A = this chain, B = another copy of it.
Amino acid sequence: MNLNELGSPSGGPTRCAIGLDIGGTKIAGGVVTEAGETTQVLRIPTPREGGADAMLQALMKVIDRLRDRTPGIEAIGVGAAGMVEWPTGLIRCAPNNAYDELPLQDLLTERTGLPITVENDANAAAWAEWRFGQGANYRNGLLLTIGTGIGGGIILNDQLYRGDVGIGSEVGHIVINPEHGSLCGCGVTGCLEAQASGTALGRMGREAAAADPTGLLASLHGGPGSVTGETVFSAAEHGDPTARALFDKLGYWLGAGIASLVNIFNPEIVLIGGGLVTTRQYLFPPTQASFEQFVFAGSQRKLPLIECARLGAEAGLVGAAALALK
């Protein structure tokens, strides 16, 4: 079906954009209408080598394929992991990708002839949740994406908070355990990402498995060294108390981090997205308890709900496209 046949609320043709989400592991691309509907979603691995050239080639492959299939694309929005300047769309650094100082917005504008918007991936996901998802009824809120890392987007008065030049809102890198914490990929010890991400869960799982080589964690997937966050989840699903205690620990740090952010922003709602949402039955109860333990003056104000984001894995590309159509 040609998207323009869908029609828009105003009766004219449906406006649509390509949304791209560049993560550390894969690039997702899709065509998104102004109503947030997604079609033609593609996923390819993020190039591990070849730097900016390989990345650009990969992005153009996705873009060309989507444009071939869908005429009338108006704009392209990109959500990219890392520190992205706004409104220039310069990627300052991307700890999990093979490039730095990449002027992606300029490069894609040159190659496609379309208006390009490049935004931090978690910001894009937050925008999607506030336009089309679980945040739509709230004017002020936070989205935390808990996956390999921890990203975040902040909505203030119905607008995406970007700071002065788009850098900021790095809520995964607030410092929460500097003296005794783990080393983060960003080089800092004890930031929230180092304590409460999927990477942290895998690390804690390997430590626990090494400490108990005959336990379930060690035996599930080929020895203590092979334990990942997924292994810990499997073990928790099998009722393993060690694995569940690791989720308690992860939730402890996540809840303390959310408390800090709520003390600063007093949002109406906190949404949790990202891969670890699938573990919510183990992760959310200790997160909620820790949040209530550490939030300031919790008994004297209305605390925000902590809920699951609704848009799932496509939030980033939907939000990026919505920002491009804005």
CA distance in complex: A263, B261 (Å): 12
Q: Do A296 and B263 form a contact, CB below 8 Å, given A83-B301, A164-B268, A256-B178?
A: no
- Tell me if A264 is interfacial: C-beta within 8 Å of chain B: yes
B170 close to A296 (CB less than 8 A): yes
Q: Of all chain B residues, which has the CB nearest A268?
A: B164
Contacts of A191 in B (CB 8 A): 294, 296
CA distance in complex: A260, B190 (Å): 11
- Tell me if A326 is interfacial: C-beta within 8 Å of chain B: no
Chain A, 126-142, CB within 8 A of any chain B CB = 139-140
A157 to chain B, nearest CB (A): 8
CA distance in complex: A297, B93 (Å): 8
Please tell me the size bucket of the interface on A: 35 or more
- Tell me if A280 is interfacial: C-beta within 8 Å of chain B: no
Contacts of A140 in B (CB 8 A): 163-164
Q: Do A188 and B83 form a contact, CB below 8 Å, given A171-B264, A256-B178, A263-B170?
A: no
A232 to chain B, nearest CB (A): 21
Q: Do A260 and B92 form a contact, CB below 8 Å, given A179-B180, A268-B164?
A: no
Contacts of A83 in B (CB 8 A): 296-297, 300-301
B263 close to A174 (CB less than 8 A): yes
A101 to chain B, nearest CB (A): 8
A175 close to B257 (CB less than 8 A): yes
Residues of chain A touching chain B, judged by Cβ–Cβ distance below 8 Å, are 83, 92-93, 95, 100, 139-140, 154, 156-157, 161, 163-165, 167-171, 173-180, 186, 188, 191, 252, 256-257, 259-261, 263-268, 293-297, 300-301
